[in-house]
A = this chain, B = another copy of it.
Amino acid sequence: MPAASEAADPNFMLSLARGLGVLRVFEGRSSLSIAEAARFSGLNRPSASRCLHTLMRLGYVREHGGRYSLTPKLLPLAAGFLTSTPLASVSQAVANGLRDRLQETVSVGALDPSDPGRIIYIARAERNQVIAAPLMVGSTLPSHCTSMGRVLLASMTNGAREQWLSGAVLESRTERTITSPDALRGELCAVAEQRWSLVEEELEIGLRSLAVPIRDRDGTTLAALNVATFSDAHSREHLIDRYLPDLRAAAGQLERAI
């Protein structure tokens, strides 16, 4: 039982959507049985089995003792996007530069095109590259409690934002997370006006981060650039006084390059 409203489009290939839906179920899970894939994707057993069978023959999935897992074949697709999209490749270079300048972790993210509730990292430069980070290019985070998410949500049209807000559940990540739609709406309004967002310990206790938008020539916001710090290292004022100008400069550099 998919959406129920996606019918009546003679140009929509349902089988393709189903197959990609099965692929998506692997996000975060290392292996799946057929029954699990069926449950998580909302398909019946035979359909899920057919999808996995097809994906296996195409080389995207492999099977071991009844359990299916992804192969590296997805990686070239992602790398193709990263290298052929100017926004992505330039973002990585700019993030590296700003990281070196500030000695802080710098990231660039965009909204998931089909779910404004989450952001996707498209570039990331870590302050301390030794640590195995829990975040990387391709990682996702909720948008309502992150500085990049706030910047991106603030850039949406009123209609789209309200539509999303009406159906969204604002998960509480810490006791400081804004979970009320009204409060979030107010905050987004301020973000839209000041053109930056500072979020303190709403995603995780101890984290403070600041983000600014990346816009194209038409003024459309394409992505957000942010710097993430530990709360006890720098004050709110320090971020705004010291880092915001550099963030803005880097954002401008990126905007000129794409």
Residue on B with the closest CB to A23? Answer: B77
Residue on B with the closest CB to A72? Answer: B120
Q: Are B59 and A112 in contact (CB under 8 A)?
A: yes
Known interface pairs A29-B84, A82-B136. Does A54 touch B16 (Cβ–Cβ under 8 Å)? yes
Per-residue interface assignment for chain A, residues 86 to 111, with 1 indicating a CB less than 8 Å from any chain B CB and 0 otherwise: 10110011001000000000000010
A113 proximal to B (CB < 8 A): yes
Give the number of residues in A that approach B within 8 Å (Cβ atoms).
69
Alpha-carbon distance between A66 and B19 when the two chains are bound, in angstroms: 26
For A12, give its contact among B53, B88, B113 (CB under 8 Å): B53
A49 proximal to B (CB < 8 A): yes
Alpha-carbon distance between A121 and B79 when the two chains are bound, in angstroms: 10
Residue on B with the closest CB to A121? Answer: B75
Residue on B with the closest CB to A88? Answer: B72
Q: Are A27 and B77 in contact (CB under 8 A)?
A: yes
User: A222 to nearest B CB, angstroms?
Assistant: 10
Residue on B with the closest CB to A89? Answer: B132
A55 proximal to B (CB < 8 A): yes
